[in-house]
Amino acid sequence: MVDGDPEFVEVTSRPMRSRALCVDDMTGYEITERSIELVDEMGVDEVIARIEFTGTMNEAERNSINFAEIKQHANGAAYFTINDKTVVSDYLNIRGERIVFSPYAELERYLAMTDNLTSEIYDLGSRIIQERLER
């Protein structure tokens, strides 16, 4: 503080370099090779470097990426990271699926298992389910 006013101190930081890599229709080997090329293109010596994977890939291709080799090429960086923002292609079709069980049938099954199946308890449980579904 100088005369009651805050004094701002500028702190220098290392530059950051970031590149995105769309991995659609690429094999794990191709992703590894292209990532190494990006590291070499960025010139990561003494900088903060990041590669961001985008797009979709299947789990087998993700498992075949050689992350150790990519990081070895970036060993001169002050800090290096790979940010994986991909969607696993196996999960793309899940969005359109609907729930196929009825909470009312589940309530009835549960009450029958616990010997508490009375119309009064079932009606109360049904009202609670209906309130939750309307939210």
Termini Cα distance of the chain = 53
Rounded to whole angstroms, the Cα distance separating 83 from 11 reads 26
Percentage of the chain modeled with pLDDT above 90:
25
Rounded to an integer, the average pLDDT of 91-113 is 70
Rounded to an integer, the average pLDDT of 89-95 is 61
Six token digits for residue 80: 């290096």
For residues 11 and 24, which has the higher predicted lDDT (pLDDT)?
Answer: 24
Instruction: List the single range of 3-7, 17-21, 32-36, 53-57 with lowest mean pLDDT.
Output: 3-7
